[in-house]
Amino acid sequence: MKKIKFMDTTIRDGQQSLIATRMPISDMIPILETMDNAGFHSIECWGGATFDSAMRFLNEDPWTNLRTFRKHFKKTKLQMLFRGQNVLGYKCYPDDVVEGFVAKTIENGIDILRIFDALNDVRNIESSVKAAKKYGGHSQLCICYTLSPVHTIEYFVALAKRLEGIGADSICIKDMAGLLTPAAAFELVTEIKKAIPLELVVHSHYGSGMAAMTYLKAVEAGCDVIDTAAAPFSQGTSQPATEVMAETLREFGYDTGLDMDVLIKIANHFRPLREKAIASGLLNPKVLEVDVEMLRYQVPGGMLSNMVSQLKQLNALDKYEQVLEEIPLVRADLGFPPLVTPSSQLVGTQAAMNVISGERYKVVTKETKDFVRGMYGQTPAPISEEIIAKIIGDEKPITVPPATLLSPRLPDAAKEIAEFTEQDEDVLSYALFPQVATDYFKYRHTQKYGIDTTVQNGDDPVYPV
């Protein structure tokens, strides 16, 4: 019997995509042991935006959460999403932060690190892979899927081979925007499976309404694992529903390893949480619709909703259509980066500036300048001399991996936050999110010792992946 494995995303990507990562761990704990018995290949429970969100919005310590997951998930592998040199933040961190983070991640219970770089710059994930190997973790390396003249099947297959070359234990086609069509998935999976012998995972989002069909064709072409979420936190901008894919594939003769009775218990647990989120407005019915604009503009759903709120703040919502049209132009100017954190925010904001200021690149964000300077890594296509001159003048972009220019951060970080440190992991939280972590530590301190401090959230805004 043919086998297909499932990774469950309900408590990470599912809730991140539908309710902006606002599910407290207390809502998850009662169902974790049941989830452990469903027969999932792995459960994605950590990383992505959950780390930041735990401290910023939920007053939770992400490391304590990870240990809680590990305690309850006794047999299922635990998986996380890791942004390579960006760790779980929005910029490039030095190697000591990457290594320290990977070490603690594995020590606290993660088995599989799904590692990606927003630009598919392999140099930006090498340190993470090295650290994962050193501490005994599984490196699942990503191909960030996107559409552009340079992102051909040959490009992606060559990328998969390079990922294998730097030590991938498995490969994931990460379609963060739901752009992967059933036909493209069939071809891409077929070619990658021909080229390399590693386990292949397909990760997609339902926003454009194609992901379930895409998975079916990907499975037919030989992919080994698909990512799905429990029905109440599936579809819309989340993943296809586990129950639907499991039934469909079972009928086609696949052994899914899943226990349908257990899946129903899981769905019954999450349904009231979905209803509560709809009632409170946290789950906006808009994210549940098939997003036809996505098919046209090829931008992730989360990026559009982010942009709407940005334009509202600037009192420029009437410019929405124009900004949508500007996004692909900015993306082309910047060498066709895949639109995923952090490049999606950077391109979206620059496109908005170009429209609102009335002149392209009259106002240039610091992020766009750093991007053109090469501070995020190598772009898929080169940026033209003309655009470079327009954005950074006579400056020469760097050609080395950006992290090689950074000095170690942890020794200073440890000193700066010594007053509040209760565990070694706190230094890493602080190194990634100085303001958010400090505010959380103050809150934690207040809870323990009753000293009144005001919690204010700073640092970069939270973005969906």
For binding to Co ion (CB under 5 A), which residues are involved? Answer: 13, 176
| CA quadruple 338, 339, 344, 347: dihedral sign | positive
Q: Which is nearer to Co ion, 13 or 326 (CB)?
A: 13
Q: Which is nearer to Co ion, 181 or 378 (CB)?
A: 181
Q: Which is nearer to Co ion, 145 or 441 (CB)?
A: 145
Cβ-proximal residue to Co ion, closest one: 13
Q: Which is nearer to Co ion, 214 or 354 (CB)?
A: 214
Q: Which is nearer to Co ion, 13 or 426 (CB)?
A: 13
CB of 15 to Co ion, least distance (A): 12
CB of 233 to Co ion, least distance (A): 13
CB of 106 to Co ion, least distance (A): 22
CB of 176 to Co ion, least distance (A): 5
CB of 321 to Co ion, least distance (A): 27
Q: Which is nearer to Co ion, 100 or 300 (CB)?
A: 300
CB of 373 to Co ion, least distance (A): 28
CB of 238 to Co ion, least distance (A): 8
Strands 77-82 and 254-255: unpaired
Q: Which is nearer to Co ion, 138 or 205 (CB)?
A: 205
Q: Which is nearer to Co ion, 13 or 224 (CB)?
A: 13
Cα separation of 272 and 126, whole Å?
42
Strands 199-203 and 170-174: parallel
Q: Which of 457, 451, 419 is nearest to 437 (CA)?
A: 457
Q: Which of 453, 418, 430, 402 is nearest to 95 (CA)?
A: 402
Q: Which is nearer to Co ion, 13 or 95 (CB)?
A: 13
Cα separation of 30 and 27, whole Å?
7
- Amino acid (1-letter code) at residue 435: Q
Q: Which is nearer to Co ion, 13 or 243 (CB)?
A: 13
Q: Which is nearer to Co ion, 13 or 121 (CB)?
A: 13
Q: What's phi and psi for 276, nearest 5 deg?
A: -60, -40
CB of 294 to Co ion, least distance (A): 14
CB of 435 to Co ion, least distance (A): 26
CB of 306 to Co ion, least distance (A): 15
CB of 261 to Co ion, least distance (A): 28
What's the per-residue H, E or C state across the chain?
CEECEEEECHHHHHHHHHHCCCCCHHHHHHHHHHHHCCCCCEEEEEECCHHHHHHHHCCCCHHHHHHHHHHHCCCCEEEEEECHHHCCCCCCCCHHHHHHHHHHHHHCCCCEEEECCCCCCHHHCHHHHHHHHHCCCEEEEEEECCCCCCCCHHHHHHHHHHHHHCCCCEEEEECCCCCCCHHHHHHHHHHHHHHCCCEEEEECCCCCCCHHHHHHHHHHCCCCEEEEECHHHCCCCCCCEHHHHHHHHHHCCEECCCCHHHHHHHHHHHHHHHHHHHHHCCCCHHHHCCCHHHHHHCCCHHHHHHHHHHHHHCCCHHHHHHHHHHHHHHHHHCCCCCCCCCHHHHHHHHHHHHHHCCCCCCCCCHHHHHHHCCCCCCCCCCCCHHHHHHHHCCCCCCCCCHHHHCCCCHHHHHHHCHHHCCCCHHHHHHHHCHHHHHHHHHHHHHHHHCCCCCCCCCCCCCCCC
